[in-house]
Amino acid sequence: MRTQVAIIGGGPAGLLLSQLLHLEGIDNVVLERRSRAYVEGRIRAGVLEPGTVELLTRAGVAERMRREALYHDGIHLAFDGRSTRIDFKALTGTGVTVYGQTSITEDLNEARTAAIGKLVFEAEDVALHDFNGPHPSVTYRRDGVTHELACDFIAGCDGSHGVSRASVPERAIRIFEREVPFGWLGVLSETPPVADELIYAHHERGFALCSMRSKTRSRYYVQCPLTDSLEAWPDARFWDELKRRIPKEDGARLITGPSVEKSIAPLRSFVAEPMQFERLFLAGDAAHIVPPTGAKGLNLACADAGALAAAFAAHYRGDDSGLDTYSERCLKRVWRAVRFSWWYTALTHRFDDDPFGARLQQAEFEMIATSRAAATTLAENYVGIFPGAA
Ligand SMILES: Cc1cc2nc3c(=O)[nH]c(=O)nc-3n(C[C@H](O)[C@H](O)[C@H](O)COP(=O)(O)OP(=O)(O)OC[C@H]3O[C@@H](n4cnc5c(N)ncnc54)[C@H](O)[C@@H]3O)c2cc1C
């Protein structure tokens, strides 16, 4: 088999890249290790920057999003029970769109399956070959048969534990990493959200986030020790803890119900540099991870896919400048998002045995609540306005 771009991983980055390339007339094949049902069932992100919405619109997969998504002009930021609203629209001229990653993946899969054979699920033992020369290829096994896919380029969109980044010699890659000493316990419930907009709450018992996927589906999180197990968190304990951490008036309105999904996720910052190795290009979580506090992971993955699609399109028109600068341009945006996600996590979470840090958090919250400049900085970063970054 032969294609122009072999894409490893059928998450948001891989699927969006595939669709954008298809629209440019560039042949590509997506190799995904899991089944379609598994990929579509993963509950993850849900807040989209305007740039991501624009990309999905350009990719021709925005019809359902336009019908079903919620549009938020701001967020509520609560500090020890006191709430302040950050009005994104007033401060930046734009807001964010709330639409689940599961729905985005379904929409992209729907569009891509029209191109039969270009989306291979349950591709086992994917291996990358010769990406440092002019004739790269990828091998994989499907139903016990080994296939070889020759290509011009390989796009590694296979998340943080994928094979693409792991195939790069250690000496060619530099890793920047910082761990967070706690996790997020997340619950999805078929209940109406407690508020029209997201509530980020700092509390002495730990951070809490009230998010949503639709007007009838809520996504809630509480900060928890990474050593906790799900068994330690029956629904009743989760709801009780969430209620204690959010402002009283919100807690009084909270409608609880059985959880339909519950998981504990670690939080960390991770960047691999560069994002290009000759004919292998990394995109999305394969190259970088951020704590979910700033809602940047999915948005970065889509931005990389958009930049890479445009660079491939330019290459096939005879201009390699996009490919040559891909890594440098993406990393500018990535580091802006890494910085914001780290700062926002440090502001809103509880860190043990750090009374000095707790006072700094309080002072910072006061600054955001009373200074338009400070609130604007938060708002610009949240909606994804990163001047100077691609
Ligand atoms: C539990 C959790 C919660 C999250 N919550 C949020 C949030 O609230 N907000 C936010 O912005 N972000 C969140 N994120 C991050 C966000 O979901 C990711 O940034 C986003 O999924 C990145 O997309 P991607 O396509 O780069 O990677 P992925 O979505 O990880 O997709 C990679 C794909 O590659 C496939 N793959 C892996 N290895 C191989 C292989 N060897 N061969 C073939 N295929 C392979 C995987 O099966 C997967 O389908 C969360 C992530 C997790 C794990």
Q: What is the rounded distance in angstroms from the CA atom of residue 337 to the CA atom of residue 291?
A: 10
The answer on pLDDT for 283 being more than 80 is yes
Instruction: Give exposure, 69-103, as e/b (b: 16+ Cβ within 10 Å).
Output: bbebbbbbbbbebebbebbbeebbebbbbbbbbbb
Lowest mean pLDDT among 6-10, 40-44, 145-149: 40-44
Q: What is the rounded distance in angstroms from the CA atom of residue 128 to the CA atom of residue 106?
A: 27
* pLDDT above 70 coverage of the chain, percent: 99
pLDDT at 245: 98
Residue 119 Cα to ligand 1 middle (Å):
17
Residue 357 Cα to ligand 1 middle (Å):
32
Task: List Cβ neighbours of 83 (8 Å cut-off, separation of 6 or more).
Answer: 76, 77, 199, 247, 250
Decide: 34 and 11 in contact? Cβ < 8 Å. Answer: no
Does the C-beta of 159 come closer than 6 Å to ligand 1?
yes
Q: What is the rounded distance in angstroms from the CA atom of residue 70 to the CA atom of residue 106?
A: 18
* pLDDT above 90 coverage of the chain, percent: 95
Q: What is the rounded distance in angstroms from the CA atom of residue 123 to the CA atom of residue 140?
A: 6
CB atoms within 10 A of CB 362: 13
Residue 283 Cα to ligand 1 middle (Å):
11
Lowest mean pLDDT among 28-42, 107-121, 271-285, 330-344: 107-121
Does the C-beta of 183 come closer than 6 Å to ligand 1?
no
pLDDT at 203: 97
pTM above 0.95, yes or no: yes
The answer on pLDDT for 349 being more than 90 is yes
- First vs last C-alpha separation in the chain: 34
Q: What is the rounded distance in angstroms from the CA atom of residue 98 to the CA atom of residue 285?
A: 20
CB atoms within 10 A of CB 159: 19
What is the dihedral sign for C-alpha 307, 29, 99, 337?
negative
- Block residue for tokens 């920057």: 49
CA 6 to the chain's CA centroid: 22
What is the pLDDT averaged over residues 58-64? Answer: 97
The answer on pLDDT for 232 being more than 80 is yes
The answer on pLDDT for 117 being more than 90 is no
Q: What is the residue-wise DSSP string for 230-270?
A: GGG--HHHHHHHHHHHS-HHHHHHPPP--EEEEEEEEEEEE
Q: What is the rounded distance in angstroms from the CA atom of residue 347 to the CA atom of residue 381?
A: 14
Q: What is the rounded distance in angstroms from the CA atom of residue 144 to the CA atom of residue 147?
A: 10
What is the pLDDT averaged over residues 190-201? Answer: 98
What is the pLDDT averaged over residues 202-211? Answer: 97
pLDDT at 234: 98
Select from 7, 18, 36, 44 the residue to mutate for testing ligand 1; criterion: most ligand atoms less than 8 Å from CB: 44
Decide: 88 and 382 in contact? Cβ < 8 Å. Answer: yes
Instruction: Looking at the CA of residue 162, tell me the nearest atom of ligand 1.
Output: 38
pLDDT at 390: 67
pLDDT single digits (tens) 140-183:
999 999 999 999 999 999 999 999 999 999 999 999 999 999 99
Does the C-beta of 275 come closer than 6 Å to ligand 1?
no
pLDDT at 141: 98
Q: What is the rounded distance in angstroms from the CA atom of residue 156 to the CA atom of residue 41?
A: 22
pLDDT at 165: 98
Decide: 97 and 69 in contact? Cβ < 8 Å. Answer: yes
Does the C-beta of 10 come closer than 6 Å to ligand 1?
yes
Instruction: Looking at the CA of residue 12, tell me the nearest atom of ligand 1.
Output: 25
Residue 298 Cα to ligand 1 middle (Å):
8
Q: What is the rounded distance in angstroms from the CA atom of residue 257 to the CA atom of residue 18?
A: 38
Residue 50 Cα to ligand 1 middle (Å):
20
Does the C-beta of 294 come closer than 6 Å to ligand 1?
no
Instruction: Looking at the CA of residue 265, tell me the nearest atom of ligand 1.
Output: 1
**How distant, in Å, are the alpha carbons of 4, 93, 156, 225 from that of 127?**
17, 46, 11, 36
Residue 228 Cα to ligand 1 middle (Å):
23
pLDDT at 123: 98
- ω into residue 274 within 30 of 0, thus cis? yes
Does the C-beta of 247 come closer than 6 Å to ligand 1?
no
Token couple for 75: 């967020």
What is the pLDDT averaged over residues 369-383? Answer: 98
Helices 12-23 and 101-113 sit at what angle, rounded to 10 degrees?
A: 40
Q: Active-site positions?
A: 72, 200, 292, 296, 382
Select from 17, 149, 263, 285 the residue to mutate for testing ligand 1; criterion: most ligand atoms less than 8 Å from CB: 285
Instruction: Looking at the CA of residue 297, tell me the nearest atom of ligand 1.
Output: 19
Instruction: Looking at the CA of residue 15, tell me the nearest atom of ligand 1.
Output: 25
pLDDT at 32: 97
Decide: 333 and 325 in contact? Cβ < 8 Å. Answer: no
What is the pLDDT averaged over residues 326-338? Answer: 98
Q: What is the rounded distance in angstroms from the CA atom of residue 92 to the CA atom of residue 61?
A: 26
Pick the residue whose CA is nearest to atom 15 on ligand 1.
Answer: 297
Residues facing 234 on adjacent strands: none
